[in-house]
Chains A and B, each alone.
Chain A
Protein backbone atom coordinates (compact mmCIF):
# COMPACT_ATOMS: atom_id res chain seq x y z
CA UNK A 1 0.00 0.00 0.00
CA UNK A 2 2.74 2.49 0.92
CA UNK A 3 4.29 1.85 -2.44
CA UNK A 4 1.15 2.90 -4.23
CA UNK A 5 0.94 6.08 -2.16
CA UNK A 6 4.60 6.76 -2.89
CA UNK A 7 4.05 6.30 -6.64
CA UNK A 8 0.98 8.56 -6.58
CA UNK A 9 2.90 11.31 -4.80
CA UNK A 10 5.85 10.89 -7.17
CA UNK A 11 3.63 11.13 -10.25
CA UNK A 12 1.95 14.24 -8.88
CA UNK A 13 5.17 15.96 -7.82
CA UNK A 14 6.87 15.14 -11.15
CA UNK A 15 4.15 17.05 -12.94
CA UNK A 16 4.05 20.06 -10.64
CA UNK A 17 6.93 21.95 -12.21
CA UNK A 18 5.54 21.94 -15.74
CA UNK A 19 2.08 22.76 -14.53
CA UNK A 20 3.25 25.81 -12.60
CA UNK A 21 5.71 26.75 -15.32
CA UNK A 22 2.74 27.16 -17.59
CA UNK A 23 0.21 28.80 -15.26
CA UNK A 24 2.55 31.13 -13.33
CA UNK A 25 3.54 34.50 -14.77
CA UNK A 26 6.88 34.77 -16.51
CA UNK A 27 8.34 36.76 -13.57
CA UNK A 28 8.18 33.68 -11.36
CA UNK A 29 11.44 32.59 -13.02
CA UNK A 30 10.20 29.03 -13.47
CA UNK A 31 10.74 29.15 -17.24
CA UNK A 32 14.30 30.36 -16.73
CA UNK A 33 15.31 27.20 -14.90
CA UNK A 34 14.14 24.99 -17.79
CA UNK A 35 17.71 24.80 -19.25
CA UNK A 36 18.80 23.21 -15.97
CA UNK A 37 16.07 20.57 -16.09
CA UNK A 38 16.03 19.46 -19.74
CA UNK A 39 19.60 18.12 -20.03
CA UNK A 40 19.22 16.17 -16.78
CA UNK A 41 15.93 14.55 -17.70
CA UNK A 42 17.51 13.33 -20.95
CA UNK A 43 20.09 11.36 -18.99
CA UNK A 44 17.50 9.64 -16.80
CA UNK A 45 15.58 8.64 -19.93
CA UNK A 46 18.51 7.54 -22.04
CA UNK A 47 19.87 5.23 -19.36
CA UNK A 48 17.06 2.86 -20.26
CA UNK A 49 18.47 2.39 -23.72
CA UNK A 50 20.25 -0.88 -23.02
CA UNK A 51 17.05 -2.44 -21.73
CA UNK A 52 15.82 -3.34 -25.20
CA UNK A 53 19.16 -4.76 -26.23
CA UNK A 54 19.41 -6.89 -23.10
CA UNK A 55 15.85 -8.17 -23.47
CA UNK A 56 16.30 -9.02 -27.14
CA UNK A 57 19.60 -10.76 -26.48
CA UNK A 58 18.10 -12.72 -23.62
CA UNK A 59 15.14 -13.84 -25.72
CA UNK A 60 17.20 -14.92 -28.72
CA UNK A 61 19.97 -16.47 -26.65
CA UNK A 62 17.32 -18.63 -25.04
CA UNK A 63 16.28 -19.85 -28.49
CA UNK A 64 19.85 -20.54 -29.55
CA UNK A 65 20.79 -22.41 -26.39
CA UNK A 66 17.65 -24.54 -26.48
CA UNK A 67 18.05 -25.12 -30.24
CA UNK A 68 14.47 -24.03 -30.86
CA UNK A 69 13.23 -24.08 -34.49
CA UNK A 70 14.84 -21.21 -36.37
CA UNK A 71 17.62 -20.84 -33.78
CA UNK A 72 20.08 -19.87 -36.52
CA UNK A 73 17.96 -16.79 -37.27
CA UNK A 74 18.18 -15.84 -33.61
CA UNK A 75 21.94 -16.28 -33.76
CA UNK A 76 22.08 -13.96 -36.78
CA UNK A 77 20.00 -11.44 -34.85
CA UNK A 78 22.34 -11.49 -31.85
CA UNK A 79 25.42 -11.15 -34.05
CA UNK A 80 23.78 -8.30 -35.97
CA UNK A 81 22.96 -6.43 -32.74
CA UNK A 82 26.51 -6.46 -31.44
CA UNK A 83 28.29 -5.99 -34.76
CA UNK A 84 26.19 -2.95 -35.56
CA UNK A 85 26.55 -1.59 -32.04
CA UNK A 86 30.34 -1.89 -32.20
CA UNK A 87 30.56 -0.39 -35.68
CA UNK A 88 28.40 2.58 -34.70
CA UNK A 89 30.59 3.31 -31.69
CA UNK A 90 33.82 2.74 -33.65
CA UNK A 91 32.86 5.05 -36.52
CA UNK A 92 32.42 7.86 -34.00
CA UNK A 93 35.82 7.35 -32.41
CA UNK A 94 37.74 6.48 -35.60
CA UNK A 95 36.16 8.58 -38.34
CA UNK A 96 39.32 8.38 -40.44
CA UNK A 97 39.95 4.62 -40.30
CA UNK A 98 38.94 3.38 -43.74
CA UNK A 99 37.92 -0.17 -42.88
CA UNK A 100 35.71 0.96 -39.99
CA UNK A 101 33.89 3.49 -42.15
CA UNK A 102 33.53 1.06 -45.05
CA UNK A 103 32.19 -1.74 -42.92
CA UNK A 104 29.85 0.59 -41.06
CA UNK A 105 28.61 2.03 -44.33
CA UNK A 106 28.07 -1.42 -45.83
CA UNK A 107 26.01 -2.60 -42.91
CA UNK A 108 24.07 0.62 -42.50
CA UNK A 109 23.54 1.93 -46.00
CA UNK A 110 23.51 -1.31 -47.94
CA UNK A 111 21.91 -3.79 -45.57
CA UNK A 112 19.89 -2.02 -42.92
CA UNK A 113 18.35 0.68 -45.13
CA UNK A 114 17.30 -1.62 -48.02
CA UNK A 115 15.83 -4.15 -45.60
CA UNK A 116 13.87 -1.53 -43.69
CA UNK A 117 12.67 0.28 -46.80
CA UNK A 118 11.69 -2.93 -48.57
CA UNK A 119 9.68 -4.29 -45.65
CA UNK A 120 7.61 -1.12 -45.71
CA UNK A 121 7.33 -1.19 -49.50
CA UNK A 122 5.36 -4.44 -49.19
CA UNK A 123 2.50 -2.20 -48.09
CA UNK A 124 2.17 -1.00 -51.69
CA UNK A 125 1.18 -4.51 -52.76
CA UNK A 126 -1.23 -4.85 -49.88
CA UNK A 127 -2.99 -1.56 -50.53
CA UNK A 128 -3.40 -2.56 -54.18
CA UNK A 129 -4.90 -5.85 -53.11
CA UNK A 130 -7.08 -4.07 -50.54
CA UNK A 131 -8.29 -1.62 -53.21
CA UNK A 132 -9.71 -4.56 -55.09
CA UNK A 133 -11.00 -6.69 -52.24
CA UNK A 134 -12.01 -4.34 -49.43
CA UNK A 135 -12.88 -0.93 -50.83
CA UNK A 136 -16.49 -1.61 -51.74
CA UNK A 137 -19.64 0.49 -51.72
CA UNK A 138 -21.49 -1.51 -49.10
CA UNK A 139 -23.12 1.54 -47.45
CA UNK A 140 -23.66 5.26 -47.91
CA UNK A 141 -20.60 5.97 -45.75
CA UNK A 142 -18.43 3.75 -47.90
CA UNK A 143 -19.74 5.42 -51.04
CA UNK A 144 -18.91 8.90 -49.74
CA UNK A 145 -15.45 7.71 -48.79
CA UNK A 146 -14.88 6.09 -52.17
CA UNK A 147 -16.01 9.16 -54.12
CA UNK A 148 -13.73 11.46 -52.12
CA UNK A 149 -10.82 9.04 -52.46
CA UNK A 150 -11.24 8.94 -56.25
CA UNK A 151 -11.22 12.75 -56.54
CA UNK A 152 -8.18 13.00 -54.31
CA UNK A 153 -6.33 10.31 -56.26
CA UNK A 154 -7.09 11.90 -59.62
CA UNK A 155 -6.29 15.37 -58.33
CA UNK A 156 -2.83 14.47 -57.13
CA UNK A 157 -1.39 12.84 -60.25
CA UNK A 158 -0.44 14.68 -63.44
CA UNK A 159 -2.44 12.27 -65.62
CA UNK A 160 -5.55 12.91 -63.56
CA UNK A 161 -5.00 16.66 -63.64
CA UNK A 162 -4.63 16.42 -67.42
CA UNK A 163 -8.31 15.44 -67.70
CA UNK A 164 -9.39 18.98 -66.77
CA UNK A 165 -6.41 20.89 -68.10
CA UNK A 166 -8.58 22.36 -70.87
CA UNK A 167 -10.34 24.50 -68.26
CA UNK A 168 -8.90 28.00 -67.76
CA UNK A 169 -6.29 28.52 -65.02
CA UNK A 170 -8.05 31.49 -63.49
CA UNK A 171 -11.67 32.53 -63.03
CA UNK A 172 -14.69 30.61 -61.80
CA UNK A 173 -14.27 27.72 -64.20
CA UNK A 174 -10.81 26.99 -62.80
CA UNK A 175 -12.51 25.74 -59.62
CA UNK A 176 -13.53 22.66 -61.53
CA UNK A 177 -9.98 21.67 -62.39
CA UNK A 178 -9.30 18.38 -60.61
CA UNK A 179 -6.30 19.68 -58.65
CA UNK A 180 -8.43 22.55 -57.34
CA UNK A 181 -11.27 20.20 -56.41
CA UNK A 182 -8.73 18.11 -54.52
CA UNK A 183 -7.37 21.22 -52.82
CA UNK A 184 -10.86 22.28 -51.82
CA UNK A 185 -11.68 18.84 -50.42
CA UNK A 186 -8.47 18.89 -48.42
CA UNK A 187 -8.77 22.48 -47.30
CA UNK A 188 -12.43 22.66 -46.37
CA UNK A 189 -14.41 19.47 -45.68
CA UNK A 190 -11.43 17.27 -44.84
CA UNK A 191 -9.79 19.93 -42.73
CA UNK A 192 -13.03 20.75 -40.89
CA UNK A 193 -13.83 17.10 -40.21
CA UNK A 194 -10.27 16.48 -39.03
CA UNK A 195 -10.61 19.47 -36.73
CA UNK A 196 -13.84 18.06 -35.33
CA UNK A 197 -12.11 14.76 -34.65
CA UNK A 198 -9.17 16.65 -33.14
CA UNK A 199 -11.43 18.55 -30.74
CA UNK A 200 -13.05 15.32 -29.62
CA UNK A 201 -9.71 13.58 -29.28
CA UNK A 202 -7.93 16.39 -27.46
CA UNK A 203 -10.64 16.74 -24.84
CA UNK A 204 -10.28 13.00 -24.23
CA UNK A 205 -6.51 13.34 -24.00
CA UNK A 206 -6.82 16.16 -21.51
CA UNK A 207 -9.17 14.16 -19.30
CA UNK A 208 -6.87 11.14 -19.55
CA UNK A 209 -3.86 13.27 -18.60
CA UNK A 210 -5.64 14.52 -15.50
CA UNK A 211 -6.50 10.96 -14.49
CA UNK A 212 -2.89 9.87 -14.96
CA UNK A 213 -1.45 12.83 -13.15
CA UNK A 214 -3.73 12.46 -10.14
CA UNK A 215 -3.33 8.65 -10.20
CA UNK A 216 -7.06 8.12 -10.74
CA UNK A 217 -6.46 5.84 -13.70
CA UNK A 218 -7.56 2.24 -13.31
CA UNK A 219 -6.56 -0.82 -15.31
CA UNK A 220 -4.31 -3.85 -15.03
CA UNK A 221 -1.07 -1.87 -15.05
CA UNK A 222 -2.27 0.74 -12.57
CA UNK A 223 -4.18 -1.59 -10.29
CA UNK A 224 -1.47 -4.27 -10.05
CA UNK A 225 -0.47 -4.85 -6.45
CA UNK A 226 2.96 -3.33 -5.93
Chain B
Protein backbone atom coordinates (compact mmCIF):
# COMPACT_ATOMS: atom_id res chain seq x y z
CA UNK B 1 0.00 0.00 0.00
CA UNK B 2 2.79 2.33 0.91
CA UNK B 3 4.35 1.46 -2.44
CA UNK B 4 1.51 3.32 -4.07
CA UNK B 5 2.12 6.29 -1.82
CA UNK B 6 5.74 6.45 -2.81
CA UNK B 7 6.48 8.88 -5.61
CA UNK B 8 6.49 6.95 -8.86
CA UNK B 9 8.18 9.63 -10.94
CA UNK B 10 11.96 9.39 -11.37
CA UNK B 11 13.96 11.52 -9.02
CA UNK B 12 15.87 14.38 -10.61
CA UNK B 13 18.98 13.38 -12.57
CA UNK B 14 21.47 14.80 -10.10
CA UNK B 15 19.97 12.91 -7.20
CA UNK B 16 19.77 9.73 -9.21
CA UNK B 17 23.44 10.03 -10.12
CA UNK B 18 24.33 10.53 -6.45
CA UNK B 19 22.31 7.47 -5.41
CA UNK B 20 23.93 5.43 -8.16
CA UNK B 21 27.43 6.45 -7.08
CA UNK B 22 26.62 5.60 -3.48
CA UNK B 23 25.25 2.20 -4.52
CA UNK B 24 28.35 1.44 -6.56
CA UNK B 25 30.60 2.52 -3.70
CA UNK B 26 28.79 0.34 -1.16
CA UNK B 27 28.81 -2.63 -3.56
CA UNK B 28 32.54 -2.12 -4.17
CA UNK B 29 33.37 -1.92 -0.46
CA UNK B 30 31.27 -5.01 0.30
CA UNK B 31 32.83 -6.96 -2.57
CA UNK B 32 36.34 -6.00 -1.42
CA UNK B 33 35.56 -6.96 2.17
CA UNK B 34 34.11 -10.33 1.18
CA UNK B 35 37.04 -11.10 -1.15
CA UNK B 36 39.60 -10.22 1.52
CA UNK B 37 37.76 -12.34 4.07
CA UNK B 38 37.63 -15.36 1.75
CA UNK B 39 41.32 -14.99 0.83
CA UNK B 40 42.34 -14.71 4.48
CA UNK B 41 40.31 -17.79 5.43
CA UNK B 42 41.90 -19.76 2.58
CA UNK B 43 45.40 -18.58 3.50
CA UNK B 44 44.95 -19.50 7.16
CA UNK B 45 43.57 -22.99 6.43
CA UNK B 46 45.68 -25.97 7.55
CA UNK B 47 45.76 -28.16 4.49
CA UNK B 48 44.57 -28.38 0.89
CA UNK B 49 41.21 -29.93 1.71
CA UNK B 50 40.52 -27.18 4.26
CA UNK B 51 41.57 -24.54 1.73
CA UNK B 52 39.20 -26.09 -0.81
CA UNK B 53 36.42 -26.06 1.76
CA UNK B 54 37.01 -22.40 2.59
CA UNK B 55 36.86 -21.56 -1.11
CA UNK B 56 33.60 -23.51 -1.42
CA UNK B 57 32.10 -21.78 1.62
CA UNK B 58 33.15 -18.44 0.15
CA UNK B 59 31.47 -19.28 -3.12
CA UNK B 60 28.28 -20.30 -1.34
CA UNK B 61 28.33 -17.07 0.68
CA UNK B 62 28.75 -14.98 -2.47
CA UNK B 63 25.78 -16.79 -4.02
CA UNK B 64 23.68 -16.18 -0.91
CA UNK B 65 24.52 -12.49 -0.67
CA UNK B 66 24.04 -12.00 -4.41
CA UNK B 67 20.46 -13.25 -4.13
CA UNK B 68 19.84 -11.14 -1.02
CA UNK B 69 20.85 -8.09 -3.06
CA UNK B 70 17.49 -8.45 -4.81
CA UNK B 71 15.84 -7.10 -1.67
CA UNK B 72 17.44 -3.76 -2.30
CA UNK B 73 16.38 -3.79 -5.90
CA UNK B 74 16.60 -5.81 -9.10
CA UNK B 75 20.22 -5.73 -10.25
CA UNK B 76 22.59 -7.35 -12.76
CA UNK B 77 24.40 -9.46 -10.14
CA UNK B 78 21.14 -11.04 -9.01
CA UNK B 79 20.04 -11.62 -12.59
CA UNK B 80 23.31 -13.35 -13.44
CA UNK B 81 23.06 -15.77 -10.53
CA UNK B 82 19.40 -16.41 -11.24
CA UNK B 83 20.31 -17.55 -14.75
CA UNK B 84 23.10 -19.71 -13.37
CA UNK B 85 20.63 -21.38 -11.02
CA UNK B 86 18.19 -22.13 -13.82
CA UNK B 87 21.04 -23.66 -15.80
CA UNK B 88 22.42 -25.73 -12.95
CA UNK B 89 18.99 -26.99 -11.93
CA UNK B 90 18.13 -28.06 -15.47
CA UNK B 91 21.52 -29.66 -16.08
CA UNK B 92 21.37 -31.58 -12.83
CA UNK B 93 17.82 -32.72 -13.40
CA UNK B 94 18.54 -34.10 -16.85
CA UNK B 95 21.86 -35.61 -15.75
CA UNK B 96 20.34 -37.45 -12.83
CA UNK B 97 17.51 -38.80 -14.98
CA UNK B 98 20.11 -40.20 -17.36
CA UNK B 99 22.25 -41.91 -14.73
CA UNK B 100 19.52 -42.94 -12.31
CA UNK B 101 16.70 -43.85 -14.65
CA UNK B 102 17.64 -44.19 -18.30
CA UNK B 103 20.80 -46.26 -17.69
CA UNK B 104 19.65 -48.71 -14.98
CA UNK B 105 15.98 -48.96 -15.90
CA UNK B 106 16.23 -49.03 -19.66
CA UNK B 107 19.71 -49.44 -21.11
CA UNK B 108 20.93 -52.10 -18.68
CA UNK B 109 17.71 -54.07 -19.10
CA UNK B 110 17.76 -53.80 -22.86
CA UNK B 111 21.38 -54.84 -23.42
CA UNK B 112 21.31 -57.30 -20.53
CA UNK B 113 24.04 -55.74 -18.39
CA UNK B 114 25.21 -57.41 -15.16
CA UNK B 115 24.44 -60.95 -16.25
CA UNK B 116 20.75 -60.51 -17.02
CA UNK B 117 19.42 -61.66 -20.41
CA UNK B 118 19.09 -58.90 -23.01
CA UNK B 119 15.54 -57.78 -23.74
CA UNK B 120 15.68 -55.97 -27.04
CA UNK B 121 11.93 -55.43 -27.08
CA UNK B 122 12.56 -52.56 -24.65
CA UNK B 123 13.74 -50.44 -27.58
CA UNK B 124 10.07 -49.75 -28.36
CA UNK B 125 9.36 -47.61 -25.26
CA UNK B 126 11.76 -44.73 -25.89
CA UNK B 127 10.58 -44.75 -29.49
CA UNK B 128 7.04 -44.12 -28.25
CA UNK B 129 8.57 -41.57 -25.87
CA UNK B 130 10.25 -39.78 -28.77
CA UNK B 131 6.79 -38.61 -29.84
CA UNK B 132 7.08 -36.01 -27.03
CA UNK B 133 9.69 -34.22 -29.14
CA UNK B 134 7.15 -33.26 -31.77
CA UNK B 135 6.35 -30.51 -29.27
CA UNK B 136 9.37 -28.71 -30.69
CA UNK B 137 7.68 -28.31 -34.08
CA UNK B 138 5.55 -25.22 -34.57
CA UNK B 139 3.72 -26.70 -37.52
CA UNK B 140 0.47 -28.27 -36.20
CA UNK B 141 0.83 -31.05 -38.74
CA UNK B 142 3.88 -32.35 -36.87
CA UNK B 143 3.15 -30.94 -33.45
CA UNK B 144 0.05 -33.13 -33.36
CA UNK B 145 2.06 -36.31 -32.76
CA UNK B 146 3.21 -35.05 -29.34
CA UNK B 147 -0.40 -35.31 -28.21
CA UNK B 148 -0.23 -39.09 -28.34
CA UNK B 149 1.94 -39.48 -25.20
CA UNK B 150 0.30 -36.46 -23.53
CA UNK B 151 -3.19 -37.93 -23.83
CA UNK B 152 -1.93 -41.41 -23.01
CA UNK B 153 -0.71 -40.14 -19.64
CA UNK B 154 -3.82 -38.02 -19.20
CA UNK B 155 -6.08 -41.00 -19.84
CA UNK B 156 -4.44 -43.31 -17.41
CA UNK B 157 -4.03 -40.58 -14.81
CA UNK B 158 -7.71 -39.72 -15.05
CA UNK B 159 -8.87 -43.29 -14.65
CA UNK B 160 -6.56 -43.76 -11.67
CA UNK B 161 -8.41 -40.94 -9.93
CA UNK B 162 -11.28 -43.34 -9.15
CA UNK B 163 -9.09 -45.75 -7.27
CA UNK B 164 -7.53 -42.89 -5.34
CA UNK B 165 -10.84 -41.21 -4.59
CA UNK B 166 -12.45 -44.31 -3.12
CA UNK B 167 -9.33 -45.25 -1.17
CA UNK B 168 -9.12 -41.76 0.24
CA UNK B 169 -12.78 -41.28 1.07
CA UNK B 170 -14.31 -44.70 1.66
CA UNK B 171 -11.33 -46.87 2.53
CA UNK B 172 -11.00 -48.48 5.94
CA UNK B 173 -9.65 -45.26 7.43
CA UNK B 174 -11.25 -43.08 4.73
CA UNK B 175 -12.11 -39.46 5.29
CA UNK B 176 -15.87 -39.87 4.93
CA UNK B 177 -15.90 -42.97 7.11
CA UNK B 178 -13.85 -41.24 9.76
CA UNK B 179 -16.03 -38.14 9.81
CA UNK B 180 -19.24 -40.00 10.42
CA UNK B 181 -17.80 -42.77 12.55
CA UNK B 182 -16.82 -40.02 14.96
CA UNK B 183 -20.42 -39.08 15.83
CA UNK B 184 -21.37 -42.53 16.99
CA UNK B 185 -21.46 -42.21 20.79
CA UNK B 186 -19.64 -45.47 21.48
CA UNK B 187 -16.57 -44.38 19.48
CA UNK B 188 -16.02 -41.38 21.73
CA UNK B 189 -13.85 -41.52 24.82
CA UNK B 190 -15.63 -39.29 27.31
CA UNK B 191 -17.92 -36.32 26.95
CA UNK B 192 -15.27 -33.89 25.72
CA UNK B 193 -14.42 -36.23 22.89
CA UNK B 194 -18.06 -36.52 21.90
CA UNK B 195 -18.50 -32.73 21.90
CA UNK B 196 -15.40 -32.37 19.76
CA UNK B 197 -16.69 -34.99 17.34
CA UNK B 198 -20.02 -33.19 16.99
CA UNK B 199 -18.29 -29.85 16.43
CA UNK B 200 -16.11 -31.59 13.86
CA UNK B 201 -18.99 -33.00 11.84
CA UNK B 202 -20.92 -29.74 12.01
CA UNK B 203 -17.98 -27.71 10.73
CA UNK B 204 -17.20 -30.19 7.95
CA UNK B 205 -20.82 -30.14 6.73
CA UNK B 206 -21.15 -26.35 6.94
CA UNK B 207 -17.96 -25.87 4.94
CA UNK B 208 -19.12 -28.45 2.43
CA UNK B 209 -22.39 -26.57 2.01
CA UNK B 210 -20.37 -23.60 0.76
CA UNK B 211 -19.39 -25.75 -2.24
CA UNK B 212 -22.95 -26.89 -2.86
CA UNK B 213 -23.98 -25.22 -6.07
CA UNK B 214 -27.00 -27.31 -7.07
CA UNK B 215 -29.33 -24.68 -5.60
CA UNK B 216 -28.95 -20.93 -5.77
CA UNK B 217 -27.52 -19.67 -2.50
CA UNK B 218 -29.49 -16.40 -2.72
CA UNK B 219 -32.94 -17.99 -3.00
CA UNK B 220 -32.47 -20.69 -0.38
CA UNK B 221 -32.26 -19.11 3.10
CA UNK B 222 -31.00 -22.28 4.79
CA UNK B 223 -28.20 -22.77 2.30
CA UNK B 224 -27.38 -19.06 2.36
CA UNK B 225 -26.84 -19.12 6.11
CA UNK B 226 -24.96 -22.39 6.19
CA UNK B 227 -22.74 -21.31 3.30
CA UNK B 228 -22.02 -18.00 5.05
CA UNK B 229 -21.04 -19.77 8.26
CA UNK B 230 -19.01 -22.22 6.18
CA UNK B 231 -17.10 -19.24 4.84
CA UNK B 232 -16.26 -18.04 8.35
CA UNK B 233 -15.22 -21.52 9.38
CA UNK B 234 -12.93 -21.83 6.39
CA UNK B 235 -11.18 -18.73 7.68
CA UNK B 236 -10.10 -20.79 10.69
CA UNK B 237 -8.29 -23.13 8.33
CA UNK B 238 -6.75 -20.22 6.44
CA UNK B 239 -5.73 -18.53 9.69
CA UNK B 240 -3.95 -21.72 10.79
CA UNK B 241 -2.24 -21.89 7.44
CA UNK B 242 -1.07 -18.29 7.82
CA UNK B 243 0.24 -19.02 11.30
CA UNK B 244 2.28 -22.01 10.22
CA UNK B 245 3.33 -20.29 7.00
CA UNK B 246 5.05 -17.59 9.06
CA UNK B 247 7.07 -20.32 10.72
CA UNK B 248 7.82 -21.97 7.39
CA UNK B 249 8.99 -18.83 5.66
CA UNK B 250 11.07 -17.65 8.59
CA UNK B 251 12.74 -21.07 8.71
CA UNK B 252 13.96 -20.56 5.16
CA UNK B 253 15.72 -17.36 6.14
CA UNK B 254 17.03 -18.76 9.42
CA UNK B 255 18.65 -21.56 7.41
CA UNK B 256 20.55 -19.05 5.30
CA UNK B 257 21.57 -17.01 8.34
CA UNK B 258 22.72 -20.23 9.96
CA UNK B 259 24.95 -20.83 6.98
CA UNK B 260 26.29 -17.27 6.92
CA UNK B 261 26.96 -16.95 10.66
CA UNK B 262 27.98 -20.49 11.65
CA UNK B 263 29.38 -22.13 8.58
CA UNK B 264 30.92 -19.18 6.81
CA UNK B 265 31.79 -16.69 9.53
CA UNK B 266 32.49 -19.48 12.03
CA UNK B 267 30.44 -18.24 14.99
CA UNK B 268 30.06 -20.98 17.63
CA UNK B 269 26.75 -22.84 17.12
Contact = CB atoms under 8 A, between A and B. Distances in A.
Interface of A: 3, 7, 10-19, 21-22, 39-56, 58, 70, 72-74, 76-89, 92-93, 102, 105-127, 131, 133, 135, 140-142, 144-153, 156-157, 185-186, 188-206, 209-210, 212-213, 224-226
A123 B249 contact: yes
Interface stretch (B8-16, B20-28, B35-43, B61-69): B61-69
Given A70-B79, A206-B162, A225-B140, A200 B235 contact: no
B105 to A, nearest CB: 6
A33 to B, nearest CB: 14
A210 B240 CA distance: 33
B222 interface: no
A198 B75 CA distance: 42
Interface in B159-200: 159-163, 165-166, 168-169, 175-176, 179, 196, 199-200
B155 A116 contact: no
Contact of B81 (A50, A115, A192): A115
Interface string B38-52: 000000000000001
Contacts of A202: 165, 168-169
Contacts of B116: none
Given A18-B160, A213-B155, A114 B60 contact: yes
A117 B239 contact: no
Given A82-B91, A112-B88, A209 B158 contact: yes
Nearest to B252: A121
Given A119-B82, A156-B247, A43 B161 contact: no
A77 B59 contact: no
24 contacts: A11-B151, A14-B153, A14-B156, A17-B156, A47-B129, A53-B91, A53-B94, A74-B83, A76-B83, A80-B88, A84-B95, A116-B85, A117-B255, A118-B64, A144-B232, A144-B235, A152-B240, A195-B204, A196-B210, A197-B237, A202-B169, A206-B161, A206-B162, A209-B161
B155 A152 contact: no
Nearest to A151: B243
Interface string B249-266: 110110110010000000
Contacts of B208: 196, 199-200
A153 B82 CA distance: 33
A1 to B, nearest CB: 12
Given A19-B159, A195-B175, A133 B2 contact: yes
Interface centre among B144, B154, B169, B179 (most CB of A within 10 A): B154
Given A56-B90, A127-B245, 20 more contacts: A11-B151, A14-B155, A70-B79, A110-B59, A111-B84, A112-B88, A114-B64, A121-B67, A122-B70, A144-B235, A148-B236, A148-B240, A185-B240, A188-B200, A189-B199, A191-B200, A199-B208, A205-B161, A212-B155, A226-B144
B83 A80 contact: yes
B140 A145 contact: no
